[in-house]
Structure 1
Amino acid sequence: MSHVRRVVFMALAGVCLLLGVIGAFLPLMPTTCFMLLAVWFASRSSPRFAAWIRQHPRFGPTVTAWEAERAIPRHAKWTAVVMLLVSMALLAFSVSLVWLKSVLIIGLALLAVWILTRPEPVTTT
Structure 2
Amino acid sequence: MKILLNLIGAIAVVLGVLGIFLPLLPTTPFLLLASACFARGSTRLHNWLITNPMFGRYLRNYELGYGIPLRAKVWILLLMWLSLGYSAYVVHRTGLQIMLFCIGCGVTLYLCRYVPTMCLPAPEQDGAPPAP
**Do the structures match in fold with TM over 0.5?**
yes
Identity of aligned residues (%): 28
Could you tell me which residue of structure 2 aligns to residue 90 of structure 1? Answer: 86
Whole-angstrom CA distance in 1 between matches of 2:120 and 2:45? 23
Could you tell me which residue of structure 2 aligns to residue 100 of structure 1? Answer: 96
Aligned amino acid, residue 117 of structure 2 = E
- CA-atom RMSD in angstroms: 2.0
Whole-angstrom CA distance in 1 between matches of 2:2 and 2:106? 36
Deviation at 1:110, TM superposition (A): 3.4
Query: Bigger relative contact order, structure 1 or 2, given CA contacts below 8 A and separation 6+?
Result: 1
Give ranges in structure 1 of 5+ residues lacking alignment: none
Tell whether the 8 Å contact from 1:54 to 1:60 is kept in structure 2 after alignment: yes
Q: Structure 1 segments of 4 or more deviating over 6 A?
A: none
Aligned residues: 120
Larger Rg: 2
Kindly indicate whether residue 23 of structure 2 is the aligned counterpart of residue 27 of structure 1: yes
Is the deviation greater in 54-63 or in 83-92?
Answer: 83-92
Could you tell me which residue of structure 2 aligns to residue 44 of structure 1? Answer: 40
Deviation at 1:114, TM superposition (A): 2.9
Aligned amino acid, residue 112 of structure 1 = T
Tell whether the 8 Å contact from 1:23 to 1:31 is kept in structure 2 after alignment: yes
Whole-angstrom CA distance in 2 between matches of 1:41 and 1:123? 29
Could you tell me which residue of structure 1 aligns to residue 116 of structure 2? Answer: 119
Aligned amino acid, residue 75 of structure 1 = R
Tell whether the 8 Å contact from 2:67 to 2:117 is kept in structure 1 after alignment: yes
Whole-angstrom CA distance in 2 between matches of 1:110 and 1:34? 17
Aligned amino acid, residue 37 of structure 1 = L
CA gap of 1:47–1:123, structure 2 versus 1, over 3 A, is farther
